[in-house]
Chain A
Amino acid sequence: MSTVLARREARRFHLFVSPWLIGFVLFTAGPIVAAVVISFMQWNLLRSPVWVGFANYERMFSDPEFWESLENTFQYGLGSVALGVTFTFLLALLLNQPLRFQGLFRTVMYMPSVVSGLATALLWLNILHPDYGLINKVLAAVGVQGPGWLASQEWAIPALVLMSVWGAGNTIVIYLAGLQGIPKTLYEAAEIDGAGWWRRFWSVTVPMMSPVIFFNVVTGFIAALQGYVLILVMTEGGPGNATMVLGLYIYRHAFVYFDMGYAAALSWAMFALIIAVTLIQFGLARRWVHYEFAR
C-alpha cells in the first residue's frame, strides 16, 4: 500500500471515528474524571464545592444503608442473572427448533423487550399484587396462599428477579445466534457415536455455547448491578429498604438530596464492585468456558 493511500485511509479513519471520540471525551470521560474529583468534595449544587478528602468514602464504609443496599444489589444481581441466563437459554433452545410459525414464536418472545419500562412496571405491579395479582390468583386456584411480593420484605427482591426475566428478549436473540453457530457436524458425529438428546446437549450444546453463556452472565451482571429505574418506579426502595439497591441509593443521594460528593463516592464503589465481580467471573471462566480456537 502506498504511503499516500495509507495516509488517506488514516485521515478517513480519524474523520469517521471523531464523532464518537468527541462524544466520549465530552460526555463520558469528562464526567468520569469529574466524578473522581467530586467524590472528594462536599457539594450541594447551590454552594461552591468544599474539599473534604476521603470523608465521603469514610462515611460510606460506616453507612449501614450503603451495606444494606450492597446486599440487596448482590441478591438482585445473583438472582436475576441465575434465573435469567437459565430461563432464556431454555427458551432459546425451544425457539431454535425448526417448527411452523417459528418467526411468530420468536417475535412473541422478543416483544416484552420493546415495551417501555414504565409500562412494564405498571404491568408487573398488577401481576405481583398480593390480592388482585395474577400470580397469587393462580397460586390460590391450587390452594397456595401467595406471598406479599413487592409488599413483603422477604419477597420483594425475588419478585423483582422474576420480573427481570420477562424482558430478556435480547439475551434470547444472542443465544439463538450462538445456537445457530454450532456446526451440525458435531451433532451428527455425536449421534453416530450413539449419544442421545441429553448427552448431545451436555457434551456439544453446552460447551459450544459456553462463551455465549459467559457473555450473557457478564453483561447481565453489569446491567443488574447498575439497574434501578424499574425499582424506583415500583417500590422506591421499599418496603422498609428491602429493595434499596445501590443504583437507587446513588440516584437518591445525587438527585433527591443533591449530596453530590457522597453520590460520586458511591458511584465509585459501584464501579469497583462491577470490576471485582467481572474479574472474578473471568477468573472462573477458565474452568468452564470452552473456546473452540483457544491456544
Chain B
Amino acid sequence: MNRRQILALAVAAAAVPALSACAGDTRQQKQAAAPVKSGVPTLDPNRPGNETWPFEQAEALNRSLTWPKTNVPDPSSKVVITIANTSDVIAEVRNAQFDFFFKQRHPNIEIRRETSTFDSFLTKYMAQAAGGSLPDVMYNHYSWTQNFIANGIVHPLDEFIARTPDFGMADLPEAGLAYFRRDGKLYGLPTDMAPKLLYFNKDIFDKAGLKYPDETWTFEKMIETAKKLKSGSGATKIFGFSPSPKPAPDLSTVFLMPYGGRFLSPDETQVVINSPEAVKTMSMWLDLLVKDGVTPSLAEELLLEKVDPWKSGHAAMHINGAWIMTELSKQKAFKWGATHVPKGPQGRFSPAVGSALVMPASSQNKEAAWIYMYEYLSTSGYQFRRISAPARQSAWLPNAEALGIPKETAELVKEILADYATSDGVMRMPATKKIVDTAKPIWERAMIGKVDAETALKEIADKVAPLLAENKIA
C-alpha cells in the first residue's frame, strides 16, 4: 500500500462516521424528521398566529368563550407583569394569542413574556431568585414547588381565591394539589394535571390475536401478555412493555404501591425501597428485563431515549400520562388504545401529576398577576389553549373533542382522576433529584446484570438515607 492509498484510507475512515448517520436504525431517522420545537417564533404583535394556530380561528374561539370575573380589581393605571413559562414553539403561539386577547380585556395590564425550555428553566430562575428579580407569574414543576415554598419564594394564593367567588375549586382534582400545598395554604395552580394510564398498540395485539387490556387486568396478566408479545430483533424488535421501571419520582405510585411497597415513607423522611414487598416487585420487573428481554435493555434505552419505542410503534404496552394523547391523536403510524393501569394485590394506583403557575412573593403586581393566572387557568383558558390534560375537569371533554381524542378515553381520564389517582408516593420534596440521581446508577447496575435486585435496593437504601435530611423542612 503506497502513501497515497494510506491517505485515502485515512480520509475514508474519517468520513465513515458522517456517512453512518445516513444509515442505521430507522427509528432514529423518524426522529430526525420530526419538527424542531424550540426557538421563539416571530409573530405579528397585532395579529399573532401561524398555520397551526391561525389568528382568525383564535379570534373566533376567544369570542365563543366566556371569560370569568374576579373581585380583584384591574389596576387603575398601566402595570407590566412578567410571565415566565416553559413552552415549545407551537404552544408559544397560542400563549401569545392568549396574551393578545387578555390585553384587550385588561387594557391596563401589559404583559412581558419570558419563555424558556424546560431543561434551562429551573437554573435560570434559581439564579434570578438569588438575584432577587423573579417574574410576577412563574411556571413550576410539581417537584420544585415545595422547595420554593420552604424558602419563602412563592406567595400563597388563598386570599385571591377567596376574592374570586367563581373560582370553582371543586373543578380541580384535590388528588393533584398536594404538591402545591403546605400548612393548609395553596401556593400553585395546576397548568395541567393528568393520571397515568396503560396504553396499548392495537396493531401489535391484533397481529398476535390477543385481547386488548381492560380494567380487569392485573400486573401479572400484563407481564404474562408482554412476554407473548415480544418479538423480532434489531430494528424490527417489538417490546412487550416499555420502559422498564426504574427509580423515578412516581415509581412508588405506579409500580410499588399496588404490591404494598414504597420507595420512601409518605413524609419522604425514610427509605423503604428495600422492604420485602418492594424487593419482590422490583425483582419481578428485573427478571422481565434481564431474563426475558421483554422491556428495553439499558443499551436499547440509551438510544431509544431519543426515539421512544412506544411512539415509534415498537412497544406493545406503555404506561404514561394522559398528556401524550395530543400527540397520539395526531399520529397515523398505529392504532392505539388506553385503559386503567393494572391492579396489584393492594389495589390500583395512578399518580395525578401536573405542573403549576406560582406567584413569586417578590412580585410588585400581585393583583394583576392573579387576574392573569386566573383567566389562564380558568375553564375558558384551558379551552383556549386546547391542551390534552387540563387540570380543570370542565375543560376535558371540549378539549378532547377539539384534539380528536376519543370521547370514551377522555371520560376514562376523568374517571381515573376522580376515582383512584393520587399524589401519594410521588416524590416532591427538596431532595427528589438527588435521590433519583443516587438511586438510578445503582439500579442501572442491576439492569446490566451486575447485581441482583435485593443487593441493589439495599445499596440504594443505604446511599439515599443520608440525603433525606434535606426533606425535613421546618
Residues of A at the B interface (CB closer than 8 Å) are 44-47, 91, 94-95, 97, 99, 105, 108-109, 111-112, 122-127, 129-134, 148, 150-153, 166, 235, 237-241, 244, 252, 255-258
Contacts and interface: CB of A to CB of B under 8 A. Distances in A.
Contacts of A109: 10-11, 14
A257 B434 contact: yes
Given A125-B303, A151-B299, A252-B437, A131 B7 contact: no
Q: At the interface, is chain B mostly helix, strand, loop or mixed?
A: helix
A257 B303 contact: no
B4 interface: yes
Contacts of A255: 123
Interface string B127-162: 101100000000000000001100101000000000
A93 to B, nearest CB: 10
B465 interface: no
A127 B7 contact: no
Contacts of A235: 302
A148 B447 CA distance: 13
Given A126-B20, A148-B448, A235-B302, 5 more contacts: A46-B129, A108-B14, A123-B21, A126-B303, A151-B299
Given A108-B14, A240-B444, A256-B433, A129 B7 contact: no
Interface stretch (B23-31, B173-181, B266-274, B391-399): B23-31
Contacts of B10: 91, 94, 109
B234 A131 contact: yes
B182 interface: no
B17 A238 contact: no
Contacts of A148: 299, 448
Q: At the interface, is chain A mostly helix, strand, loop or mixed?
A: loop
A108 B300 CA distance: 32
A45 B124 CA distance: 11
Nearest to B7: A94
Contacts of A45: 126-127, 129-130
A257 B433 contact: yes
Interface in B430-462: 433-434, 437, 440-442, 444-445, 447-448, 450
Interface in B307-359: none
Most buried by A among B3, B11, B235: B11
B24 A134 contact: yes
5 contacts: A94-B3, A109-B10, A126-B24, A151-B297, A256-B437
B28 A126 contact: yes
Contacts of B433: 256-257
Contact of A240 (B7, B15, B445): B445
Given A45-B130, A47-B151, A126-B20, A131 B14 contact: no
Interface in B1-40: 3-4, 6-7, 10-11, 14-18, 20-21, 23-25, 28
Given A239-B445, A240-B444, A129 B3 contact: no
A240 B448 contact: yes
Contacts of A239: 298, 441, 444-445, 447-448
A132 B445 contact: no
Contacts of A240: 441-442, 444-445, 448, 450
Interface residues of B, number: 46
B332 to A, nearest CB: 25
Contact of B25 (A91, A126, A256, A258): A126
A126 B304 CA distance: 11
B306 interface: yes
A166 B302 CA distance: 21
Contacts of A244: 441
7 nearest A-B residue pairs (beta carbon):
A151-B299, A46-B151, A134-B20, A45-B130, A132-B25, A240-B445, A241-B441
Contact of A108 (B11, B20, B24, B234): B11
B143 to A, nearest CB: 12
Contacts of B303: 125-126, 129, 132
A105 B25 contact: no
A94 B13 CA distance: 13
Contacts of A129: 24-25, 299, 302-303
A15 B76 CA distance: 51
B441 A237 contact: yes
Nearest to A169: B14
A151 B448 CA distance: 8
B451 to A, nearest CB: 9
A219 B234 CA distance: 41
Contact of B234 (A124, A125, A132, A241): A132
Nearest to A237: B441
A108 B445 CA distance: 40
A47 B10 CA distance: 56
Nearest to A258: B126
Contacts of B298: 151, 238-239
A133 to B, nearest CB: 7
Nearest to B440: A238
B151 A44 contact: yes
Contact of A150 (B11, B126, B153, B302): B302
A73 B234 CA distance: 33
A123 B18 contact: yes
B441 A125 contact: no
A31 B96 CA distance: 37
B448 A132 contact: no
B4 A99 contact: yes
A275 to B, nearest CB: 28
Contacts of A111: 18
Nearest to A100: B4
A95 B299 contact: no
Nearest to A123: B21
Contacts of B21: 123, 126
A257 B381 CA distance: 34
Given A94-B3, A151-B297, A240-B444, A125 B306 contact: yes
A125 B21 CA distance: 10
Given A46-B130, A240-B444, A95 B434 contact: no
A46 B441 contact: no
Most buried by A among B4, B15, B24: B24
Interface in B354-370: none
Given A109-B14, A132-B303, A240-B441, A46 B7 contact: no
A240 B14 CA distance: 31
Most buried by A among B20, B126, B440: B20
B11 A105 contact: yes
B74 to A, nearest CB: 32
A257 B433 CA distance: 7
Given A129-B302, A238-B440, A256-B437, A123 B17 contact: yes
